Structure 1
Amino acid sequence: MDNSDMKQIQWFPGHMAKTRRLITSNLSLVDAVVEILDARTPLSSRNPEMDKLTRNKPRMVLLNKCDLADDKTTQLWINYFKNCGCAALSVDCKSGKGLKFILPTIKSTVLKELMDKRAKNGMTGAAIRLMIVGIPNVGKSSLINKLAGSKRAKVEDRPGVTRTKQWVKLDNNTELLDMPGVLWPKFEDQDVAIRLAFTGAISDDILDIETLAMKLLSYLAENYPTSITERYKIELSDEDTGLELLEKVGKKRGMMISGGEINTERAAITVLDEFRSGKLGKITLEAPPQKEQ
């Protein structure tokens, strides 16, 4: 992506520094870490500090919002994480898709050594304690509520909302420690920040929403052209700029203001909302890194 026309995105509210301290100080209380990622941006939504923060604690990766992501690319990501030695599942916390496999996989794979040790020592009834981590708006609360079968965790769509840790008991054998969402102090790669902004993980309040929508439309035109031609009934040209695409959407939707000018801000809000809600189809914003030959 060409980011020359966008300001550098740096976003690290004070409560997120507190979250990093909470993660490290509570690791001794849990047996494993469940890391929730956005299936549309698995690498960008994976905090690069998490390996260091969790100190090699047994970990499982959940690719959440898989119903919004490209199925073929999601499978590539699952294979990627498994090749990296990390158990991975695709799930959708809102619909409940894939959630029934989480605990069995943790017991049979992630914590197999611990479970075998407990069985040998006659401790099969001992509770499993899991820490749930992930960036804001990735679906931690929705996951916990589905697993617990009730509204045990506060669901908050707005990124960056301050919350404290909370324990949720699923049954006599499983307890979850929910941690507030944590981003990182500095985005070394602005493409990462922009992908997170596309999905709403970074607050729209700190970005130029029209520029963001232009970049998203340019990406879609190159990688998922039918997502916008079918949704907005517009024709694409290889010469279209992001602004021209946004204007086409606004014009087609009748988003006009006085003097015949197109309301590009309204069009931008529409494009981002419809992408985030899945109305543009199943889209993934990044592919797994290629192994070096």
Structure 2
Amino acid sequence: MNYQWYPGHMTKARRMMQENIKLIDLVIELVDARIPISSRNPDIDELGKGKSRIILLNKSDLADPVWNKKWVEYFAAKGMGVLEINSRTGMGIKSIQGLVQEVCKEKIERDRKRGIVNRPVRAMVVGIPNVGKSTFINSFAGKACAKTGNKPGVTKGKQWIRLNKGLELLDTPGILWPKFEDQQVGMRLAFIGSMNDEILIPDELACDLIGAIKELYPKALQERYAADPVGKPIEILEAVAESRKCYSKGEQLDLVKASGLLIDDFRSGKLGRMTLERIDSDNE
């Protein structure tokens, strides 16, 4: 299957972020911990030059804990603050404030030398669709936050949310679509649900996912579906259909239904904690 992206507003989103980036001190970027590189937009590194950076490995509860640690080390080595979080449950959210102070300490110190005390750090949250950005903002901001109104020099309509005395969030967060020429990137995005499932072919997506899982976590297929991990992806999908009693009329295996179950099991973590993207020479 050809995985393709249709970014209707990519140029508009990029322009909006370019405009907003001048107003902020810090870029907080959410990525999916299961595919930390594929779920990034490479433009963010260029747009965020000269700004403090934080990477949040969201949905880290669904990712392999061993690889979570390796990805934390990978991004930290690039000079970014990094945290494992789960924006849905709130895991790791309380640690963000301390990390903000740490990555922005030079800016805070510079302000202090100029006699500017208690000026909050201004941050922008960015991420691709379905990476959990809205959930994160709601969890991070909570109910106690107050909009502080338009700042001088800020385009009319932009609002700042004061999270606490040390941090303000621009409430027009950047949504950037990933650009990919590599079909593997598109495929991984389809696995986690960042592409519209309606434009995908379920059994082909499921077979691609089985291929990735059997390479990295073969036991998971055996344990959940009693499938032989040595088999071809289509044979494993048939085993999924049999184990879950997915039959259509005439007692034929319903591979489309089985595909949906398999994909849902992966996305919800029922297959176990998995990281489908590894650090290799291409990432270094």
- What TM-score results when the alignment is normalised by the length of structure 2? 0.89
Indicate whether 1:235 and 2:227 are aligned: yes
The AA in structure 1 aligned to 2:16 is L
Residue 286 of structure 1: which of 277, 280, 283 is its match? 277
Secondary structure of the residue aligned to 1:80 is helix
Match of 1:63 among 51, 57, 63: 57
CA contact 1:166–1:179 (8 Å) conserved in 2? no
Structure 1 segment 1-293 matched on structure 2, within 5 A: 6-13=1-8, 15-108=9-102, 110-150=103-143, 167-177=160-170, 178-184=172-178, 186-232=179-225, 234-238=226-230, 240-290=231-281
- When structure 1 is superposed on structure 2, of 67-76 and 216-225 the one drifting more is 216-225
CA distance in 1 between partners of 2:27 and 2:213 (Å): 34
Amino acid at match of 1:132: V
2:219 touches 2:229 (CA, 8 Å); kept in 1?
Answer: no
Contact 2:191 2:263 in 1 (8 A): yes
1:259 Cα deviation from its structure 2 partner: 2.1
> Contact 1:35–1:62 (CA<8 Å) still a contact in 2?
yes
Q: Summarize the Cα distance change of 1:97–1:262 in structure 2 as closer, same or farther, 3 Å threshold.
A: same
Is 1:246–1:264's contact at 8 Å kept on the other side of the alignment? Answer: yes
SS at match of 1:29: coil
Amino acid of the structure 2 residue aligned with 1:211:
E
Measure how far apart 1:17 and its partner are.
2.4
**DSSP-derived class of the 2:90 partner:** coil
Segments of 5+ residues of structure 1 without an aligned counterpart are 1-5, 153-163
Structure 1's 190 and 83: CA in aligned 2 closer, same or farther, altered over 3 A? same
What is the Cα deviation at residue 82 of structure 1? 1.2
2:154 maps to what in 1? Answer: none
The answer to whether the Cα contact below 8 Å between 1:136 and 1:180 also exists between their aligned partners in 2 is: no
What displacement does 1:8 show? 4.3
Deviations 1:121-154 (A, max 9, x none): 34232121101000011111111111122398xx
1:175-204 Cα deviation digits (max 9, x unpaired)? 1124242213x4211101100110011111
| Aligned counterparts of 1:71 and 1:281: Cα–Cα separation in 2 | 11
Q: Deviations over 1:13-51 (max 9, x none)?
A: 2x3321111100011111110111110000101111211
- Unaligned 5+ runs, structure 2: 146-156
TM-score, with length taken from structure 1: 0.86
Residues of 1 paired with 2:283 and 2:60: CA distance? Answer: 27
Does structure 2 conserve the Cα–Cα contact (< 8 Å) formed by 1:221 and 1:236?
no
2:227 maps to a residue whose letter is E
Superposition CA RMSD, Å: 2.2
Q: Which amino acid aligns with 1:12?
A: P
What SS does the aligned partner of 1:205 have?
helix
Number of residue pairs matched? Answer: 272
Question: More displaced, 63-72 or 46-55?
Answer: 46-55
One-letter identity of the residue aligned with 2:6: W
TM-superposed CA distance for 1:69, in Å, is: 0.3
**Residue type at the aligned position of 2:219:** T
Distance in 1, matches of 2:199 and 2:6, equals 9
CA distance in 1: counterparts of 2:61 and 2:69, whole angstroms = 12
Moved more, 70-79 or 56-65: 56-65
The amino acid across from 1:216 in the alignment is: L
CA distance in 1, matches of 2:177, 2:96: 24
The secondary structure found in structure 2 opposite 1:221 is helix
CA distance in 1, matches of 2:6, 2:127: 16
Aligned mates of 2:278, 2:132 — CA distance in 1? 21
CA contact (8 A) 2:62 2:272 kept: yes
Q: Which residue of 2 aligns with 1:159?
A: none
Equivalent residue of 2:212, what SS?
helix
Counterpart AA for 2:193: G
Secondary structure of the structure 1 residue equivalent to 2:83: strand
